[in-house]
Amino acid sequence: MLREIPSILSPDLLHALRAMGHGDELAIVDANFPAQSLAQRCLRLDGVSATEALSAILTLLPLDSFDPMPALTMEVVGDAAQIPPVVVEFQAIIDRVADHPARLGALERFAFYQRARSAYAIVQTGEFRLYGNIILKKGIIQP
């Protein structure tokens, strides 16, 4: 055990977060997402919601301050203007926890899949709420 590191973050996930560089992306996805078939590295957090994962990860991961949208969610298929409750929670967590709070952007479903495919890693959670998917771009820690 280590102090001040959320216990839901696995050793493999901690390694990935540390190994990522500025501009690398991390996808946190729900239980329905095709993570195994898309990921370069698939890390599992079974039994953990996407919102719990986001909150824990943002305590360690700086968001990119050079990108106006360093956090992206998936649009609702057929209704891009709809904002699912889980996405409202994502925004509240970013506002509360992130070192660089930012407004969420959104990508069409297949554009989200493509972006996740190129992410450094995909974290598959046990999230059952639909559209519980978010991509984070890693920033820097200022000297």
pLDDT of residue 143: 85
pLDDT, one tens digit for every residue, the chain (143 residues): 688 999 999 999 999 999 999 999 999 999 999 999 999 999 999 999 999 999 999 999 999 999 999 999 999 999 999 999 999 999 999 999 999 889 999 999 999 999 999 999 999 999 999 999 999 999 999 88
pLDDT of residue 142: 84
Instruction: Please tell me the distance from the alpha carbon of residue 83 to that of residue 106, in angstroms, as a whole number.
Output: 10
The strand pair at 121-125 and 71-74 is best described as unpaired
Amino acid at 6: P
pLDDT of residue 2: 81
The residues annotated as belonging to the active site are: 22, 64, 113
Instruction: Please tell me the distance from the alpha carbon of residue 51 to that of residue 81, in angstroms, as a whole number.
Output: 21
Helix axes 50-58, 85-97, angle to 10 degrees: 20
pLDDT of residue 29: 98
Residues in the chain: 143
